Structure 1
Amino acid sequence: MVTTEHRAHLATTNRLHIGPVVAGSLLTGLLVAVFLVLAPFVPPEEHVVTGVTLLGFAVGWAALALLSTRLTLQPQRWAWAPAAYMAASVAVVLLAPGTTLERAAAWVWPPVLLVLVVWMFLRSRRDLISATRPWLLYPVFTVLLVLALGGGYEAVSSARDVSAAVPGRLVDVGDHRLHLSCTGSGSPTVVLEPGAGLMSAEMGWVAPAVARDTTVCVYDRAGRGWSDPAPTPPDGAQTATDLRTALHRAHVPGPYVLAGHSFGGLYVMSFAAQYPREVAGLVLIDSTAPSSAPVPPESTGYDLAGRVAAIAAATTRVGVGHLLAQTSYADLPPGSRDVARASASTADHVAGTVEEYAVGSRSTSQAGRLDDLGDRPLVVLTAGVGSDAEWIADQDELATLSTNSLHRVVAGASHGTLLEDPVAAAAVSKAVQDVVESVRTSSPLPRR
Structure 2
Amino acid sequence: MKKWRKRLVKFLIFDLAIVLLLLGTGVIYQQVGLRQDAKTLVPPGKLYEVHGDNMHLYTGGEGDVTVVLASGWGTANPYVDYYPLYEKLAPNTKFAVYDRFGYGYSDQTDKKRDVDTVAEELHELLQVSGQKPPYVLVGHSLGSLETIRFAQKYPDLVKGIVMIDGGSPEYYSNDDDSLADTIGGFANKFRIQTGLFRLSMQSDMVVETSNANRNELKLEPDDLKKLDTTALLHNYGNVNTLDELREIATNAKVVVNHKQTLPFPLTILTADYLGASEPEWDKSQVEFKSWSDDSKQVTIKDTDHYIHQYRPDIVADEILALVKK
TM tier relative to shorter chain: 0.7 to 0.9
Structure 1 residues 142, 289: CA separation in 2 closer, same or farther (over 3 Å shift)? same
Please state how far the C-alpha of 1:347 moved relative to its aligned partner. 5.0
Q: Which runs of 5+ in 1 are unaligned?
A: 1-6, 12-17, 20-128, 296-303, 439-448
Could you say what secondary structure the match of 1:195 adopts? coil
For residues 307-356 of structure 1, give each alpha carbon's deviation from its aligned partner in whole angstroms, at most 9, with x where no partner exists.
Answer: 94798566444334433583434413333322221111125763322221
The 5 A counterparts of 1:27-426 are 129-132=6-9, 134=11, 138=15, 141-142=18-19, 144-145=21-22, 148=25, 151-152=28-29, 155=32, 159=36, 163=40, 165-198=42-75, 199-200=77-78, 201-291=80-170, 308=184, 315-322=191-198, 323-324=200-201, 326-327=207-208, 328-329=210-211, 330-331=216-217, 332-346=220-234, 350-368=238-256, 369-374=258-263, 376-385=264-273, 386-415=276-305, 417-419=306-308, 421=309, 423-426=310-313
Please state how far the C-alpha of 1:173 moved relative to its aligned partner. 1.1
Retained in 1: the 8 A contact 2:37–2:231?
no
Letter in 2 for 1:354: L
The two structures, once aligned, show a CA RMSD in angstroms of 3.3
Structure 1 residues 232, 413: CA separation in 2 closer, same or farther (over 3 Å shift)? same
Please state how far the C-alpha of 1:405 moved relative to its aligned partner. 1.7
Structure 1 residues 313, 279: CA separation in 2 closer, same or farther (over 3 Å shift)? farther
Letter in 2 for 1:393: K
TM-score normalised according to structure 2 size: 0.80
Residue of structure 1 in register with 2:177 after alignment: none
Q: How far apart in 1 are the matches of 2:109 and 2:190?
A: 18
Matched, 1:429 2:316: yes
Q: How far apart in 2 are the matches of 1:312 and 1:194?
A: 23
Please state how far the C-alpha of 1:261 moved relative to its aligned partner. 0.6
Retained in 2: the 8 A contact 1:270–1:370?
no
For residues 46-94 of structure 1, give each alpha carbon's deviation from its aligned partner in whole angstroms, at most 9, with x where no partner exists.
Answer: xxxxxxxxxxxxxxxxxxxxxxxxxxxxxxxxxxxxxxxxxxxxxxxxx
Q: How far apart in 2 are the matches of 1:321 and 1:142?
A: 17
Structure 1 residues 145, 287: CA separation in 2 closer, same or farther (over 3 Å shift)? same
Q: How far apart in 1 are the matches of 2:197 and 2:254?
A: 31
Q: How far apart in 1 are the matches of 2:108 and 2:115?
A: 15
Structure 1 residues 393, 292: CA separation in 2 closer, same or farther (over 3 Å shift)? closer
Could you say what secondary structure the match of 2:47 adopts? strand
Q: How far apart in 2 are the matches of 1:293 and 1:426?
A: 28
Retained in 2: the 8 A contact 1:229–1:348?
no
Count how many residue pairs are aligned between Structure 1 and Structure 2. Answer: 302
Retained in 2: the 8 A contact 1:313–1:348?
no
For residues 209-247 of structure 1, give each alpha carbon's deviation from its aligned partner in whole angstroms, at most 9, with x where no partner exists.
Answer: 111110000010001111111112322221111000000
Could you say what secondary structure the match of 1:370 adopts? coil
Structure 1 residues 349, 233: CA separation in 2 closer, same or farther (over 3 Å shift)? farther
Q: How far apart in 1 are the matches of 2:26 and 2:94?
A: 46
| Largest Rg, 1 or 2 | 1
Retained in 1: the 8 A contact 2:172–2:249?
no
Retained in 1: the 8 A contact 2:69–2:98?
yes
Please state how far the C-alpha of 1:366 moved relative to its aligned partner. 2.4
Residue of structure 2 in register with 1:56 after alignment: none
Letter in 2 for 1:204: Y
Letter in 1 for 2:45: G
Structure 1 residues 317, 434: CA separation in 2 closer, same or farther (over 3 Å shift)? same
Could you say what secondary structure the match of 2:170 adopts? coil
Mean alpha-carbon deviation: is it higher for 216-225 or for 202-211? 202-211
Structure 1 residues 178, 371: CA separation in 2 closer, same or farther (over 3 Å shift)? same
Structure 1 residues 427, 179: CA separation in 2 closer, same or farther (over 3 Å shift)? same
Please state how far the C-alpha of 1:269 moved relative to its aligned partner. 1.0
TM-score normalised according to structure 1 size: 0.60
Please identify which structure carries the higher strand content: 2
Structure 1 residues 396, 143: CA separation in 2 closer, same or farther (over 3 Å shift)? farther
Q: How far apart in 1 are the matches of 2:315 and 2:294?
A: 18
Please state how far the C-alpha of 1:194 moved relative to its aligned partner. 0.5
Report % sequence identity.
23
Retained in 2: the 8 A contact 1:383–1:414?
yes
Could you say what secondary structure the match of 1:131 adopts? helix
Letter in 1 for 2:320: Q
